[in-house]
Structure 1
Amino acid sequence: MIEHGEIDLIPQEADGQPLRGWAMIRNLHAPKAAYFYDVAERITDKAIDELFRDLRRQAIEPTQNLFRHDREALDGTRWSAICFAHHRNPGFLDPPPRVKERVYGFLMLVEHAGKVAVLRSGLDLTTAFKSKHLNRIDAERVEAALAHSDAIFEKMRLRNLSPSKHVLRSKMLESEDLRNVVGPAGSSRFAPQGYTLRRDDGHYTTTPSTGRISQRSDTAGHEELVPWCVGMIEELENQNAPVAPFLRTFARSVSLATYGDRLQPTFFSVNTALLAEELLDEHGPLRLVKEGEGGPVALSHNETAAVLDTLGPSLSVRTVRKELRLEPTEGRRRTLGKLKINKGRISLRSLDLAAAESLTVEHKAAALGQDPKAQSLRSYINRESRFIVLFQDLALAYIDGALYRDDGFAAGGDDLLRYLITERALADAVSEKGGLTPVQTTFDPTSVFGVVVNQIARQDDVLLCDDLSDEWADFIGLNTTATPPTVSFYHAKHKGLSLGATPLHEAVSQALKNLGNMALPESEMGRKVASWRGVYTKDRVTSAIRRVIRGDIATVPEAIGAVRSTPDMMRRAYVVTSSLSKQRVSDALADIAAGNPPSPHFVQLYWLLMTFVSACSEVGAFGRVICQE
């Protein structure tokens, strides 16, 4: 049949009559791929009839049904299916012209044990039917159904959980067995979005967040598809199936909707670490503005840091008459804000913090006071989800607008401890760089800079102070005599002891954005060598400390070239801080493993440091944090 210059193929019997009814359903050959849902409200004959009628009403110029079956019985299971042709606008033409493209749509529902499998092509469930009758299935149940302990993962699509702009956002991995090529350092900050695995009964692909499961096989008819859907539903019902240990090395993104009333918030905290990246970083996109006597005034770096300090304390979450109230963790009980948990996000209904109300967030690209999208700091924190919520389930954390599950963290987070190296001299540090005088030739031994030079980097035969220039690190060290030779970037910071992320944020951010420079690109060396020819100057005080701490400026280019040309050159990125104690971190992790809730600030710290380690692994570098004992 030809319509409007199109060829429309309708399957026909030998006598030229179109196939219909049971005859046509036997021509169905579809892949074993379905979306699985929990039934929210009982599905009736009337509901299926309304669904199929709505599908035809919403379609453009639908043909007669090639087949339609409403809640047919097969071995105790109900199945429904519909198929018809319809027009749609070509996706590559805008606005759509009179010409339409003809497609054949197919939709099939299999009902079993309180769940529904949906197989489709060219048609989809209506919004009304889905919202009334179906709930998205828990992603963890999809994982348990497919990722058995003996499963071999062959392909995986990953998204980085860190909101930092300096890290790899996503990646695709593929191997005969990913367990042999993916280490814990490279996986810990990535959440699987979808994966392909093989088991004894075949190859499967799934996207847990959408409930989609497919099996690699030949296409099948309805009499084979229905039992396949039933089999998958029964696997989804198995609550005790152990998940593959390989999958548990990842922190997984999970849906708020799947947890529902089971979510019991315990603590709330503003994500000051991420706000610091946006507001304090030299290249950060935002600024804080206050209203001065003569008009809007931008806050200085120190004033902004002070504001973030006031936002730092965590608040407890208490349920009062179904309200989630934010209250101080110590002192007089009073309501400082309220949370609301929706299906898609957690929002701040209120936040009574003076600093958050009296200040405005603006984009630096706009003239001061002229940003049309300016908003109060409180509104910005809410709209951009710049906060963390913790729950009674210690494996869960809501961070920057998404809910994550990290079983490794709840089990004690031993992975983090492996990347902490202790240096006793950091306990004596009282400043970052120490005081400077014109006659000073070395950094104060009680400064973090002094500890780096005298203790941590003592094996480097070339040591360059790169601070306060177009810096890649505070110090760059070369060990040209080691086998293999090493390049080390040292990022040093001094703060009081803390189990929060804020004291470390600046150093980690600097380390992340300079990972590419650890290759010592030849095109940059001329400029960098020139910057190392002088002495160290800070706050207009020119000292007698040579920027080439060890080595000879005349031979530095040659040494860098020799190390760069070594095929097995080793790169190490060190964050050196006096603000962290490995023992205190170990004690905090032990408390978590014992079932005690962590503070939101410690969760920030854990995620920040594991992000740093993971990002280093992505570029073939070794990331370590050197801290107090």
Structure 2
Amino acid sequence: MNEEILLQNIILHENAYFFIKENSQYLTKRLIKTTFEEASQDKQGRFLLNIHKKPYVINEREIYYSIAIFKYIKKPSFIEESIVGWEETKLAYICLIDFENHIVIAKRNISKINDFLSLFEPLDYDVMTSIFSNENTSFEKLSMDNMNISDKAIRQKSLESNNLKDNVSTFGLQGYILNNVRVNNDDSKIALSLNASRINQLGPKNNFEGFLKWSDKVVESIKDCTLKISFLSSFATSVDYTKYKDVLNPTAILIILNKLYKEYEENKIKRCFIKVKINNEYIERDINLLSILKHFEKLIEIEFTNGGYHLKHELIKDLFLFKNNKSITLRSAKLAKVHVEYENDLSFPILSVLNWTKSYIITFDNPELIYCNRKLFKDSRLLGNLEGLLKIFIPYSELENVSSEKGSFRITSTLFDTNSVFGFVEEEFMANHDYFICDDLYKEWADHIGLSENTISFYHSKYKDSNFSASDFQDIIGQALKNLGNLSPGEDQWSLKENYWQRTYKNDGIVTQISRIRTGQDEEDVIEYFKKVKGYPNIKKQVFIVINFISKAALEDRLMKLQNAEYFVERNEVIQILWFVSSLISSCYEANTEVYICCRP
């Protein structure tokens, strides 16, 4: 068959990646040829189809298309060593459509073209959502990433309905980055992958000429786009990274590992190995990647040194962050030796995987800015609503006099020391509840739990001899976030608590006379009451964080200085605390839970 007949036999879904070119010049044949060669390094035999920069006239305008199709053979993922006759033969294709100012890419089973993709800019979120939304659009499905920098926060959410704008509150959506959307316009369904700049018109496949015409129609819509305010405008919006790049001073980073864990779940990762050169020969040694990843599951502080922005990590000492012209990436000579091999036998350095997938959130000394999904976002609400944010802080003069978290213990102790945080909690709050339980230690839901006809309250306590410690604050916030779900426990959790709550309190090897049921008859009575009130439709859920190492007045002073762009010593710590508080408020709102922080005046 000649090329024309082969092209007529190709049918494609109206599904492609759309990018903007930095200049209005068409791609050169040399660049196209190089890209096709890189994409087909593992091909078997010659190209089945290989067309470079062929012109096509549409609506009196000339565009160019290029397409390559090839065969490759791979070992199935369910066998360890290659066996003759057990190979899988697959086809791959890559199609480039050049619109002078835009480039459209359709591909299948293609990798190794990241250098080529880096030459172009993805479409802005606002553009993609504007060209496919109007007042009659139904938003059927959304998936989003959380910008919350707490390692205990829910990282991703997916929602689906006939029309989400009718039943989803827009409050708090500003803290989420929209990733995928499915919209319905007059029974025409379109799926948008905003973080990948991909547009998918759901429906039957089209012939190659029809695919060209569809691509042209979308490009014209992009060129003529007028930005619109819609339901999707409630999500986080990006700003031009290049305008801020020179004044960005990173302060902390949270590396997101969900995508790697998901690839493990889907058996896409075959192995992880260290690749080192010994006597001019590369040696590979398999390692357990999961044991490495667990060391990165927390916010990491960044310090500026002569070598650049250094991540203060206890395991990897040479991990640095670099501000590039268009993005921010991670580098480490030590981690460069750690490779991940996938089921398709391709392997990449672990840092390349993290950088390609944009798997981190970065905060800066400007608290309104945050970097996520390879884009810079600005959230003016943080400093714009300080009065509202400070309302969750409740000052108690008694917390100025505490000297420990739990006090000292004796076998005759029946109460926590009055000058401890635990003692303060029981003195201040126990009388407000019908039942009060000390759940501290061993898979605790909270340090104290208070139950009444109207409320279920969790109390999380922490004492530290510090001032404005972001890491100490992160610990207690993380404890509160990971236990939000336990405000409404499942039926499988009661047996553990029944055995635990019947005991007296034990700490430092001392078994005291402090009953874990601080107010109430016995553990069975408490559990029956808990089961009853958690089922009340109007029950009020509350979280109290009780700390001694933050003063409300001092925090308010620092936040006002932050708002006025004034310098102060604890600036970076206060910025992180601001983000943690904002994240806590958002998470509690989504869980329909009130939150309060009890602190020094």
Q: TM class by shorter-chain length?
A: 0.5 to 0.7
Pair 1:209-2:195 in alignment: yes
Pair 1:503-2:472 in alignment: yes
Is this contact kept in 1: 2:382–2:578, CA < 8 A?
no
Q: Matched residues in 1 for 2:476 and 2:147: separation?
A: 19
TM-score by length of 2: 0.67
Structure 1 residue 170 corresponds to structure 2 residue 159: no
Letter in 1 for 2:322: K
**Cα distance in 2 between the residues matched to 1:402 and 1:91:** 34
SS state at 2:192 partner: strand
Structure 1 pair 470/34, CA: closer, same or farther in 2 (3 Å)?
closer
The percentage of counterpart residues that share the same residue type is 20
Which letter maps to 1:508? I
Alpha carbons of structure 1 residues 52 and 209: separation in structure 2 relative to 1, 3 Å:
closer
In the alignment, which residue of structure 1 is the partner of 2:219? Answer: 230
Give 1:560's match in structure 2, choosing from 516, 521, 530: 530
Amino acid at match of 1:191: I
Counterparts in 2 of 1:349 and 1:265: CA distance versus 1, 3 Å: farther
Output the CA distance in 1 between the equivalents of 2:548 and 2:193. Answer: 43
- Give the superposition deviation at 1:211: 1.6
C-alpha deviations, 1:448-485, integer Å up to 9, x for none? Answer: 32332233453211111222455332111110x33xxx
Question: Are residues 1:70 and 2:54 paired?
Answer: yes
Letter in 1 for 2:526: V
Task: Work out which of the residue numbers 573, 586, 589 in structure 2 matches 1:601.
Answer: 573
Q: Deviations over 1:404-463 (max 9, x none)?
A: 625255563569728825243455442333566777654455543233223345321111
Cα deviation 1:182-233 (Å, max 9, x = unaligned): 4467756543322223568964322222221234466551563243132243
CA distance in 2, matches of 1:542, 1:57: 68
Structure 1 length as normaliser, TM-score? 0.64
Amino acid at match of 1:604: Q
2:149–2:583 CA contact under 8 A, matched in 1? no
**Map of 2:16 onto structure 1:** 34
User: How far apart, in 1, do the equivalents of 2:565 and 2:46 lie?
Assistant: 58
Classify 1:549/1:185 alpha carbon distance in 2 versus 1 (closer, same or farther; 3 Å): farther
Report if aligned partners of 2:562, 2:571 keep a CA contact under 8 Å in 1: no
**2:456 match:** 487
- Match of residue 574 from structure 1: 544
- Alignment partner of 1:420 is 2:392: yes
Read off the aligned partner of 1:430 and give its amino acid letter. Answer: V
Question: Which amino acid in the other structure matches residue 384 of structure 2?
Answer: G
* TM-aligned CA deviation for residue 502 of structure 1: 1.8
Match of 2:379 in 1: 407
Offset, 1:60? 3.4
- Where do 5+ consecutive residues of structure 2 fail to align? 257-297, 311-317, 334-357
Partner of 1:548: 517
In the alignment, structure 1 segments of 5+ residues that lack a partner are 1-17, 275-307, 327-335, 351-383
2:245 is matched with 263
- Shift of the 515–440 alpha-carbon distance from structure 1 to 2, 3 Å rule, reads same
How many Å separate the matches in 1 of 2:435 and 2:13? 62
Q: Do the aligned residues in 2 keep the contact of 1:45 with 1:71 (CA within 8 Å)?
A: no
The match for 2:434 among 455, 458, 461 is 461
Kept after mapping to 2: 8 A contact 1:272/1:502: no
DSSP-derived class of the 2:104 partner: strand
Note if contact 1:410-1:592 (Cα within 8 Å) is conserved in structure 2.
Answer: no
From the superposition, tell whether residues 229 and 457 of structure 1 become closer, same or farther in structure 2 (CA, over 3 Å). same
Match of 1:116 in 2: 103
Report if aligned partners of 1:487, 1:570 keep a CA contact under 8 Å in 2: yes
Letter in structure 1 aligned against 2:471:
T
Match for 1:80 among 42, 64, 76?
A: 64
Q: Distance in 2 between matches of 1:471 and 1:503?
A: 18
Between the aligned partners of 1:273 and 1:433, the Cα distance in structure 2 is 33
Quote the Cα distance in structure 2 between the aligned partners of 1:88 and 1:543. 70
Counterpart of 2:424, as a letter, is V
Change (3 A) 1:349 1:108: closer
Contact 1:32-1:228 within 8 A present in 2 as well: no
Q: CA deviation at 1:86?
A: 3.9
Q: Out of 468, 472, 477, which is 2:450 matched to?
A: 477
Task: Give secondary structure in 2 for the equivalent of 1:192.
Answer: strand
Aligned counterpart, 1:50: 33
> Partner letter of residue 50 of structure 1?
K
CA contact 1:347–1:385 (8 Å) conserved in 2: no
Partner of 2:355: none
Q: Cα offset for 1:174?
A: 0.9
Match for residue 277 of structure 2? none
Check the 8 A contact 1:145/1:235 in 2, yes or no.
Answer: no
2:143 is aligned to 157
Aligned to 1:60: 44
Q: 1:103 to 1:538 in 2, by over 3 A?
A: closer
